[in-house]
Chain A
Amino acid sequence: MALLTIENLCARVGDKEILKDFSLTINPGEVHVIMGPNGSGKSTLANVIAGHPAYEVTGGRLMFKDRDVLKMTPDERANIGIFLAFQSPTELPGVGSALFLKTALNAKRQAAGEKDIDAVSFMRRLRPRATALGITDDMLKRALNVGFSGGEKKRMEMLQMAFLEPDFCMLDEIDSGLDIDALHTVSQAVNIMRESHRSFLLITHFQRLLNDITPDYIHIMMDGRIVKTGDKTLAATLEEKGYDIYR
């Protein structure tokens, strides 16, 4: 059974049609990459799957674990395993990072009929993941993303992913604004989490993200739909020839 099935999905912002009959199937354990020029609809796709209220879905189907996602609120989608690491994570003044993580995990546990996590188990779950991503105790004490550098914000997104352990992880330009070491750290976070039941959708402009992560499929997106699908070698072709040959 496919983890995620998108059929002829159409979505718009205001009067502007962005996704146009977009279709894609992702099976458990697969890593898909979407590349495409600016404005082709990559981030819109991720936001529509996550349920961003600014986007209106005007047609098509979106099924996750055989459930109709389009009828669900963003929190319901998250709690059945959909996760989006944002391109530009929002700053939340006054909301402590650690408390936020605990609230999010407990929301997921409550949705699954489990009881809230206790303080000891919470720290035991958080600490090794934070350490692996180079996130200090000081960062966890601060308000979420407030005053964080671009790289720190991206690593905090990865921490949330590692901490919440979703089944479907979308990473929207996680490589933008990262130096080489941070990029390697983020790639490792993805590789460590690769499992037979978990799938990834990576949105990127650059082949360099794929130096450490080997995808199963690369899709080229143009004008709201996929125009070409290939294996990992497609990224190198793109890097060499650009998008023009697919226009």
Chain B
Amino acid sequence: MTSIDNLFLMTLSGQSESGTVPPEGRRIIVPAGQHVDISLLLLHGNADIHVVLTGKQASCRIQTLYLSCQNNRNNLNLEVIHESPETTSEQIIKGIVTDTAHTAFHGIIRMPHQAQQCVGSQNHRAVLLTPQAVVMATPELEIYADDVQCAHGSAIGALDTAALFYLMSRGIAEKTARHILLQAMINDSLPPSFEPVVQEWMAQHA
């Protein structure tokens, strides 16, 4: 178990809440015309977040970074339910997994019959730093409405060896080159207040 904690930051209707990730599931209701911003840094254990967009023009943006090392086992569940028409959601999930760690990511966007003219997106990208690291991703869309825009994508792989060589061929040491590429991947996906924890993790494990 690492000493640094999971981090959670949420802003809804101008009210901010920050702390660690609640281990039990968290259900966040977003009423009409409101926007919620959720940032999550998962370093160990599980996170289970459900966002329900209950009124027109409700929207959410969920940014998640999971960093997993040693023999950790993590589960990340994200669910967005577009209960009302004309709602918008965006999920950006990134991960770095090393050693023999194992992360399971499950993300779903639900758009029931009444969820017309909704827009939803979910983008997941993870880098495996060792051959033994594992990410299992199950991105899902459950769509019953016929007038919606919905997209999801998931990419998991090792660091780009060509990019690594390119940086090293300019004199940059391998560890620094790796950090540059990882930092580039997770760029802009988290609030600045999470940065020191991310840097500490990278220095120790990446």
B-binding residues in A (CB < 8 A): 50-54, 73-75, 77-79, 83-84, 86, 89-90, 92-95, 100, 103-104, 107-108, 111, 143, 160, 164
Contact = CB atoms under 8 A, between A and B. Distances in A.
Contacts of A143: 184
Contact of B170 (A53, A93, A160): A160
Contacts of B168: 51, 73-75, 78
Interface of B: 160-163, 165-174, 176-177, 180-181, 183-185, 187
A104 B166 CA distance: 11
Contacts of A77: 169
Contact of A84 (B160, B163, B169, B173): B169
Contacts of B183: 94
B171 A107 contact: yes
B166 A92 contact: yes
Contacts of A95: 180-181, 184
Contact of B171 (A52, A75, A90, A94): A75
A67 B176 CA distance: 24
B171 A111 contact: yes
Contacts of A90: 160, 162-163, 165-166
A52 B168 CA distance: 10
A52 B183 CA distance: 23
Contacts of A74: 165, 168-169
B161 A108 contact: no
Contacts of A100: 167, 170, 180
A103 B176 contact: yes
A52 B165 contact: yes
Given A73-B174, A75-B174, A103-B176, A94 B169 contact: no
B174 A78 contact: no
A104 B172 contact: yes
26 contacts: A50-B169, A51-B169, A53-B161, A53-B165, A73-B168, A74-B168, A75-B169, A75-B171, A75-B177, A78-B171, A79-B171, A83-B169, A86-B166, A90-B160, A90-B165, A92-B163, A92-B167, A94-B187, A95-B180, A95-B181, A100-B167, A103-B180, A107-B170, A107-B173, A107-B176, A111-B171
Contacts of B185: 94
Contacts of A104: 167, 170-172
Contacts of A89: 166
Nearest to B170: A104
Given A90-B165, A104-B172, A107-B172, 5 more contacts: A53-B161, A53-B165, A75-B168, A111-B171, A143-B184
A107 B170 CA distance: 9
A159 B3 CA distance: 44
A143 B183 CA distance: 13
Contacts of B166: 86, 89-90, 92
Given A73-B174, A94-B185, A94-B187, A78 B169 contact: yes
A166 to B, nearest CB: 9
A66 to B, nearest CB: 20
B163 to A, nearest CB: 5
B172 A103 contact: yes
